[in-house]
Amino acid sequence: METGMDEQQRLRVFLVDDHAMFRAGVRAELGAYVEVIGEASTVAQAVSAIAGLEPDVVLLDVHMPDGGGRAVLDAVRRSHPQVKFLALSVSDAAEDVIGLIRAGARGYVTKTISPEDLAAAIRRVAEGDAVFSPRLAGFVLDAFAARPDTPVADPELDLLTNREREVLRLLARGYAYKEIAKELYISIKTVETHVSNVLRKLQMSNRYELSRWAADRRLV
């Protein structure tokens, strides 16, 4: 909410979820903030519609029949790199979260998120930043915890900086970006940069915990 409320261009959002009730709810809630240009209930529908419509942001359900959000990401992401994905799920299981992020989603929020927060998350993802739910921030802290027995192959990717750790902690504590900036005496843009860096590490790092989560889980 702290960025871009005055931007007149409304974001074009596409919904992918196999629950019609949920799609209708999100559509109604988001109507005031963004333009919902289409929705899909299956992976196949989603893939062809996203390729045709080229929305700014796709709200992607993690769990769907025939492959779930992961299948959509795998099918579309390479051919349409400008389309941003925000994963949306009732599940907070680490494997689901990490799996989607590593497949290329720019963020992850739970379905209990308020409409305003969801709109803000969509905007942030559209601008190329990352969105972490408190729980995702907790997972990342956990996965990147400094354990003596974990080998670090690439310090640039496998370790978090102290600042990134601080930002994640505040995210996990339920702070908004604006509040984090105030708490750490840095700008909101800097907070966003830190979170984006963490996202990159999350996607690229080969830390054991991450690869295990990614490998263990074939999202169904």
Which of 134, 152, 166, 190 is in the footprint of other proteins by CB under 8 A? 134
Is residue 216 involved in binding other proteins (CB under 8 A)? no
Judge contact between 144 and 154, C-beta under 8 A. no
CB 50 to other proteins: min, Å = 30
State the Cα–Cα distance between residues 188 and 207, nearest whole angstrom.
Answer: 28
| Cβ-Cβ contacts under 8 Å for 75 (sequence gap 6 or more) | 43, 47
**One of 8, 9, 82, 112 touching other proteins (CB under 8 A):** 112
What Cα–Cα distance (Å) separates residue 9 from each residue in 24, 34, 45, 156?
A: 23, 9, 27, 37
CA distances from residue 14 to 17, 57, 215 in whole angstroms, order as listed: 10, 6, 28
Span interacting with other proteins, options 10-18, 76-84, 135-143, 152-160, rule CB under 8 A:
135-143
Site for other proteins in 38-77 (CB under 8 A): none
Q: How many residues does the chain have?
A: 220
> What mask, x for binding other proteins by CB under 8 A, covers residues 89 to 108?
---xxx--------------
Give the residue, chosen from 173, 178, 189, 218, that forms a contact with other proteins under the rule CB under 8 A: 173
DSSP assigned state of 11: P
Does 169 bind other proteins (CB under 8 A)? Our answer is: yes
Asked whether position 174 contacts other proteins by CB under 8 A, the answer is yes
Count of positions on this chain that bind other proteins (CB under 8 A): 19
Q: Which helix (H) or strand (E) holds 110?
A: strand 107-110
Residues 138-167 that bind other proteins (CB under 8 A): 138-139, 141-142, 145, 147
- Shortest separation between residue 33's beta carbon and other proteins, angstroms: 20
Query: Cα dist. 67→123, 217, 220 in Å?
Result: 27, 11, 5
* Binding status of residue 8 toward other proteins by CB under 8 A: no
Within the chain, strands assigned E span: 12-16, 35-40, 57-61, 84-89, 107-110, 131-132
Token couple for 36: 């919902």
At closest approach, how far in Å is the CB of 220 from other proteins?
Answer: 14
Residue 217 as a binder of other proteins (CB under 8 A): the answer is: no
CB atoms within 10 A of CB 111: 16
Candidates 33, 85, 108, 175: give the one binding other proteins (CB under 8 A).
Answer: 175
Residues that bind other proteins (CB under 8 A): 92-94, 112, 134-135, 137-139, 141-142, 145, 147, 169, 172-175, 209
